[in-house]
Structures are given as C-alpha cells and as structure tokens.
Structure 1
C-alpha cells in the first residue's frame, strides 16, 4: 500500500498544487515585482527601485495605522481567548441547554463582516447618541472600542468551539487522579487542563492574531477610518492608498505597503506558533 501511495500520490496532490500556484504563488510573485514599480495597470508597470518602500515607511498614515492595528490585535487576542475559554469551561459542565448556548454563541461567526460592521455601527451610534456623546464616526475612542466589541462578538463563539473540543480531549482519568490526590479545581485547571489544551490555545491565538491584523471589511463598514483616518487599520490603509489616491505612484506605494504587511503578519504568526507550540505537552 505504501508503494501505491508513493506511485499515485502525486495525482491527488497535483490539482491542489496547480490551484495554489495559480491562485497564490504567481499573484504573490507578480505583486512582489509590482511593489518595485510605478503603474496604473499591470501592463504599464515601470521599475523604479526601492522608492515605493521608502515612501511607504515615511507615510505617517501608514505608521499610524500600524500602531492602531497592533493595539487592536493585542486587546482582541486577550479578550477573545479569555472569554472564549471561560465560555468553553462553563459549557462543558454538563448543564442543561449547553447545545443551545453553543449554537447561539457560534451564530455571529456565520454573518459576513460587512453586515456585522453596519449592524454594530447603528447600535453603537444609537447608544452614544442616547448618552449625549459624539457619534461613532466622530469619536476615535468609540471607533476603537467598537472594533474590539465587534470582533469579540463575532469570534468568541468560534474559538469557544475549539476550546470545547480541547477540554473534551483532556483524559478524565487524569482529572480524577488529581482530585484523589487532593487537587483543587483551580489547580486542576492550571496544572492539567491548560497544559493539555495547548494545541487548542495555539490554534485559537493564531486565528485571532491573524484575523485581527488582516481585519478589513468590519473596519470599512464600522468606521471607514473616521475621524480623519484615526481608526484606519493596515488593510484599510493599503486599500485607500491603492484606490483612493490619484496617480500611478500611489498604486506602487500601496503594493509596497501590502508586501510589508504580508511579511510582518507572517513573521508574527511564525513567532506566535513557535512560542505556543514549545509549551505543548504530549498526552
């Protein structure tokens, strides 16, 4: 059977490899080249060296959006994972109605980001209007916390499902043995459950981290960068550089920003995966 796998395995890999090459590798290589060019279309690109990257790093709006994105990602990763883990613990206690609550908490993840953005824009604007504060698009602080609330509401249920699977994978014999030895629930949580759940934690932290950095549609619908681009995240800033600014020079700068953004997300993701996987234990 192993001989058969080696002989015919490429037939199963080839379609996916072709699709991945056409849909990702070739566009990425072409995009990398365009980041060194001035262009309005792919057909009239003119090579201009590192000037796009110099312009990107000296663009104050890009640096400001990078700082804003880091702040959003840091708070999102902590809040989403802590709350999702707490819900997973609560919904694995053999209480009545757990399946119903799992479904309810998961449902926001099924709604598109643009729809979520407009829904929460209406909700937050109404609340701020009732208390006499400026509307969402006139208040950078409200815009920041609006994005945090939106992301938590959308992603907590999804991460909760992953944590529930991890908790259910913890051996009952191990927990029972710890109870017999006199361990408290708190000690069981920190010394047994969390170490045994590190694969789930790795996945959830990776997803929340990358989703926070790549956030675009919710940011576009909720604040569109207002006021005065103070709530621009990196993806929205790249989009606005590429499409909202006139002149072929800005398209090259936008492409350079996209390459920088991709490299930063990949490096942060690899660092996070290496850090959390080093804490995983074998069952």
Structure 2
C-alpha cells in the first residue's frame, strides 16, 4: 500500500518551494542587478578615473587646444592661429630641429648602451657568485638617485674630479673639457644616463633569466653547445618578452630626458646639447611662448607614441615567430 502511494507521489509534478517569477519581475531583477554592478564599478573605478582625467586627460586636451594658439602663458589673450605654429617649427625654428635630431641620436646611443650593459650585468649577477647580492645592490643604487641630484653630482665629478685626476695621472682623457665642448658634453650626458638606468634594466633581465629552464641549458651542454650558442639559441629567445619591455622603457625615458640635461649642461655650450624636452620647457616657460611650446610638445608626443607602438608591435611579432 505504501509503495503504491509512493509511486503516485513520484508521478505527480514537484512543486517549487518559491513562487515562479513572471517576465516583468525577472526584467526588474536584472535591471536592479545591472544598476548594482554599475554602482560597484563606479565606486571602485570612479575615483581613479576622475584623478586620471584631472591630471592627464584634461591637461592633454587643453594643451592640444593651446598648440593652435599664440598664448604666452601669462595673459588672458588667446588668439587662434591654426597651423602657423607647426609651420614655423618645420621651416624657421632651426634650434627645434637641431634638438630633435640630437634627441634621436642620444636615444639610439642610450638604448644600445643601457640594454647592453644592463643585460651584461644581469648575466654577471645570475652566476653563482658569493657577491651576487652585493653586486645587485651596488648596480641598482644609482637608480635610486633623482636625475637633478645625479646631474649636479656628476657635474662636480666632470669639472673638479676629472681635472684633479688628470693633474695627478696625466691621462689625456681626464684633462678634456667634458662639459665645455659639445662633443664631450653629449657623451657626458650619455654616461650619466646609462650609469643611472642600467641597474634598473638589469633587474628586469634578472627576472627573465631566472625563469629560463635550467634543464634546457644542461641538455645543451651535454650536446656540446658552448656558452655563446646557449646564449644565442636558448637564453635570448626565452628572454625576448623582457627585451620588449626594456626597449619600451628605454625609448620612452631617453626621448623624455630632461632633469639630467638641465642639471648637467643646461643645454650648453651654446645650446649644443639642448634635448627636445629642455627645448620645449625653455620655449614655454622661459621665452613665454606657451602656444609654440605646446605645438612642440604635441609633435613630441606623436613621435614617441608612434615609435613605441611600432617597437612593441614588431617585438611582439618576433616573439611569436621565435
């Protein structure tokens, strides 16, 4: 009898403990959920976006507007001049053109030296040496100093320190007018920048080298590969993502060099070492031609952004191919 009742209960449709929602109530609940998610998103992202807009977006678009005006940065008189600022830069402003070419030269040299020395230091300190931790600290310490302070320190070294060493040793290298000649002053800026940036790049390469599987290296050694073959065929392809990051960082920092240039030479002698960022600063805040300075800054932004995008895209493509 009980089994018959159970069979009958099984045949009956199961009743839901909750009332089934109709379509209107379902739409209302989905709408409330969306508003709740949007509120939470705004709560977490809103302050960050507002700060980013105030600090970055608004000044950027304001600067783009001023690049088409003749505003001097002081008075309230702003006149629209269209493309006149850009025409002037490409036809008459020889100092801007010279600074642009000098910055490109400086960027190429600094990228090669910073990445080469940084990678070499990373290879050195990843060897099983007793002094590896001390060497990492020593090589990274210059990056902790600010560019202005670093420039003034090296200015004293180039002017006073090298002169004293030259008098004692008689070595011609130390008797050069390092900051008084345009050629040696350029290399002085390069030396300081590479000395400061190589340690930071070294840390990125160390992280990449430590992720290289040791089994591959041991297998290559067993097969008779030497250190150069291991470096070229195993290590370099595996650290390619780190190379992409380091190239991006060094390109952007080299193009934007300002503090070392200002404190070490201030563009001298006779503006022969005036990089693009210092030229923009001088135009806007010293010569009080803010509109022209913004036009230079806009060109500067477009060039750096284009080079960075091309570099990252090309290196990512090479990573996939390798």
**TM, length-normalised to structure 2:** 0.81
The alignment partner of 1:280 has SS state of helix
1:255 aligned residue:
294
Partner of 1:55: 88
1:116 to 144, 150, 155: 150
Match of 1:176, SS state, is helix
Aligned to 1:44: 77
User: Mean Cα displacement is larger for which, 105-114 or 51-60?
Assistant: 51-60
What residue in structure 1 maps to residue 140 of structure 2? 106
User: Of 241, 244, 258, which aligns to 2:283?
Assistant: 241
Mapped to 1, the partners of 2:67 and 2:250 lie a distance apart of 28
Equivalences for residues 5-84 of structure 1 within 5 A = 8-41=40-73, 43-58=76-91, 59-84=93-118
1:215 maps to 2:248: no
Residue 240 of structure 2 corresponds to residue 198 of structure 1: yes
Specify the alignment match of 1:271 in structure 2. Answer: 310
C-alpha displacement at 1:33, in angstroms? 0.3
Report the alpha carbon displacement of residue 228 of structure 1 after superposing the two structures with TM: 0.8
Number of corresponding residues: 278
Normalising by structure 1, what TM-score?
Answer: 0.92
- Mapping 1:220-231, distance limit 5 Å: 220-231=262-273
Partner of 2:3: none
- What's the offset of the Cα at 1:38? 1.2
- Deviation digits for residues 214-254 of structure 1, max 9, x if unmatched? 000100000011111010000001111112225xxx22111
Change beyond 3 A, Cα 1:133–1:94: closer
**CA distance in structure 1 between the partners assigned to 2:213 and 2:83 by the alignment:** 55
- Alignment gaps of 5+ in structure 1: none
Greater displacement, 219-228 / 50-59? 50-59
Q: Distance in 2 between matches of 1:277 and 1:10?
A: 33
Contact 2:217 2:230 (8 Å CA) reproduced: yes
1:149 paired to 2:191? yes
Question: Mean Cα displacement is larger for which, 269-278 or 122-131?
Answer: 122-131
Report what 1:170 is aligned to: 212
Q: Which moved more, 1:124-133 or 1:182-191?
A: 124-133
Higher Rg of the two aligned structures: 2
CA distance in 1, matches of 2:67, 2:321: 44
Structure 1 position 267, deviation (Å):
0.6
**What is the deviation of 1:160?**
0.5
Unpaired runs of at least 5, structure 2: 1-32, 167-171
CA separation in 2, counterparts of 1:93 and 1:136?
36
